[in-house]
Amino acid sequence: MDHFLYRNGHLHAEGVALSDIAANVGTPFYCYSAATLTRHYQLFKEALAPMDNLVCFAIKSLSNVAVLKLLGDLGAGMDVVSMGEYLRAKAAGVPGERIVFSGVGKTREEMRVALEGGIRQFNVESEPEMRALSEVAVSLGVKAPIAVRVNPDVDAKTHEKIATGKSENKFGIPIARAREVYAEAARLPGLEVVGIDVHIGSQLVDLEPFEQAFQKVADLTLALRADGHTIRRLDLGGGLGIPYTRSNEAPPLPLDYGAMVKRTLGHLGCEIEIEPGRLISGNSGVLVSSVIYVKNGEGRDFLILDAAMNDLVRPSMYGAHHDIVAVAEPAPGAPTVPFDVVGPVCETGDTFAKARDLPLLAEGDLVAFRSAGAYGAVMANEYNTRPLVPEVLVKDDHFAVIRERPSYDEILKRDKLPEWL
Ligand SMILES: *Cc1c(COP(=O)(O)O)cnc(C)c1O
């Protein structure tokens, strides 16, 4: 469920017409709904109750500090994968005790900054990383709380670029070697073992791979406890999928996910941590764009938008589908025509959709890409020297620009001419 609905013939974000924002900010822009973000976070809280739990928002899916503050103020923790994301969480006022540091290649500098600034736990992914973290912690005179990310070797049955839990993926340590790795962790002077971490992929539309993985984590918890380790926290990662089309997909609901977590892990008495990104942010955002031209090609019509592959990367990178709707509500029964929806970038890959049935649109009309809140703005870039797309947050009947579109001056100023040129 989201809060992007037609009212009086215009698509609204909560109480604000997207066309009003477009008139104010220009297009393209991302727009997020505070009520939708809040609702999705709360769904996870309800699903995990009454287990002791922390819902850590995966910042990489949507990292604007205003969004982080909104979720942080509700009590959310944050899952970060870089120093930049750590600093964003801190800038949003999230205390270190609610920040989890994930990622396969943390540098010593990142470890130091997080240890000094406060951290709930590091999810470590290799033995060399574990040794480096111990050294950094010892040099600061502290102990680094850790969970080891185990790779359970299950098939997440999702897009190959976002599956992370098979043995051939770069993530985590093979679960078969976990006891050995925990034994070394316990011997390292700078580490304190607090739990186990697992994350098997993103956009999972079936609970079964999760259940297989969590069953293996349950077995491992008992084995590690028998070896004398304190396992009091289980971090289950993120990855629950969302419906990208209104019609045919029905991924599991957070409530079903929570029930499965209770069934597989509830008896262990551990604190449960999860790291959802997409399910909180995905359907909380849209990308709004204007039609520049309608071009009649050979046997097909092109809708040329002012948004492009650099603003929303997912279609060109993953072949992902986004529903595209007209911001002005089409009359009931109005005719549709198939359009190839493209951006202005000089790449054939700059295609959002092929032969997509849309109402008869004309120059200047607005369209909205749905489900664009996750892995949208965060993956945007300035290819073709197109200014980074701005972000807007709506709450009730007001909106605010939470990241401005840079001016061309600002963009050009970043390039420096060497003296010898
Ligand atoms: C990407 C990622 C997440 C979030 O995944 P979603 O599919 O957005 O829920 C959580 N944890 C880790 C370690 C990740 O890499």
pLDDT at 133 over 80: yes
Task: For residue 416, name the pLDDT band (cuts at 50, 70, 90).
Answer: very high
Q: Which helix (H) or strand (E) holds 171?
A: none
> In this predicted model, what pLDDT tens digit does every residue of 103-123 receive, in sequence order?
999 999 999 999 999 999 999
Mean pLDDT, range 300-310, rounded to an integer: 96
Q: How close is the Cα of 421 to the center of ligand 1, in Å?
A: 45
Report the pLDDT value the prediction gives residue 165, as an integer from 0 to 100. Answer: 78
Question: Which three-class secondary structure state does DSSP give residue 231?
Answer: coil
The vertex-394 CA angle with 391 and 395, nearest 5°, equals 150
Ligand 1, from 199, 200, 273, 284: best to mutate by most atoms within 8 Å of Cβ?
A: 199
Go through the domains of the chain in sequence order and give each one's CATH number: 4-31+282-413 (2.40.37.10), 103-274 (3.20.20.10)
> In this predicted model, what pLDDT tens digit does every residue of 358-381 receive, in sequence order?
999 999 999 999 999 999 999 999
Q: How close is the Cα of 167 to the center of ligand 1, in Å?
A: 18
Percent of the chain at pLDDT exceeding 70 = 99
Report the pLDDT value the prediction gives residue 1, as an integer from 0 to 100. Answer: 67
Report the pLDDT value the prediction gives residue 169, as an integer from 0 to 100. Answer: 80
Q: How close is the Cα of 190 to the center of ligand 1, in Å?
A: 27
- As a whole number of angstroms, the distance between CA 320 and CA 152 comes to 27
Tell me the CA distances in angstroms from 396 to 15, 34, 101, 400, 411, one per residue in order. Answer: 5, 8, 33, 11, 33
Q: Which helix (H) or strand (E) holds 56?
A: strand 53-58
Report the pLDDT value the prediction gives residue 164, as an integer from 0 to 100. Answer: 79
- Among the options 31, 56, 270, 346, which is catalytic? 346
Catalytic residue status for 56 = no
Residues with CB under 6 A from ligand 1: 58, 60-61, 79, 102, 199, 202-203, 237-239, 275-279, 374
Backbone angles phi, psi at 264, to 5 degrees: -90, -30
Q: How close is the Cα of 10 to the center of ligand 1, in Å?
A: 34
Ligand 1, from 101, 159, 169, 202: best to mutate by most atoms within 8 Å of Cβ?
A: 202
- As a whole number of angstroms, the distance between CA 36 and CA 44 comes to 13
Mean pLDDT, range 126-138, rounded to an integer: 98
Report the pLDDT value the prediction gives residue 162, as an integer from 0 to 100. Answer: 76
Report the pLDDT value the prediction gives residue 204, as an integer from 0 to 100. Answer: 95
Nearest CA to ligand 1 atom 12: 237
DSSP state at residue 341 = E
Percent of the chain at pLDDT exceeding 90 = 93
Nearest CA to ligand 1 atom 10: 238
pLDDT at 101 over 90: yes
Q: How close is the Cα of 206 to the center of ligand 1, in Å?
A: 16
Ligand 1, from 60, 157, 210: best to mutate by most atoms within 8 Å of Cβ?
A: 60
> In this predicted model, what pLDDT tens digit does every residue of 150-201 receive, in sequence order?
999 998 888 777 777 777 788 899 999 999 999 999 999 999 999 999 999 9
> In this predicted model, what pLDDT tens digit does every residue of 214-232 receive, in sequence order?
999 999 999 999 999 999 9
Q: Which atom of ligand 1 is nearest to the CA of 275?
A: 10
Report the pLDDT value the prediction gives residue 299, as an integer from 0 to 100. Answer: 85
Q: How close is the Cα of 282 to the center of ligand 1, in Å?
A: 12
- What value does the mean pLDDT of the chain take? 96
Mean pLDDT, range 73-102, rounded to an integer: 98
Q: Are strands 233-235 and 271-274 parallel, antiparallel or unpaired?
A: parallel
Global confidence as pTM: 0.96
pLDDT at 247 over 70: no
Q: Which atom of ligand 1 is nearest to the CA of 102?
A: 13
Report the pLDDT value the prediction gives residue 166, as an integer from 0 to 100. Answer: 76
pLDDT at 102 over 90: yes
Mean pLDDT, range 322-346, rounded to an integer: 96
Q: Which of 260, 237, 249, 124 is nearest to 190 (CA)?
A: 124
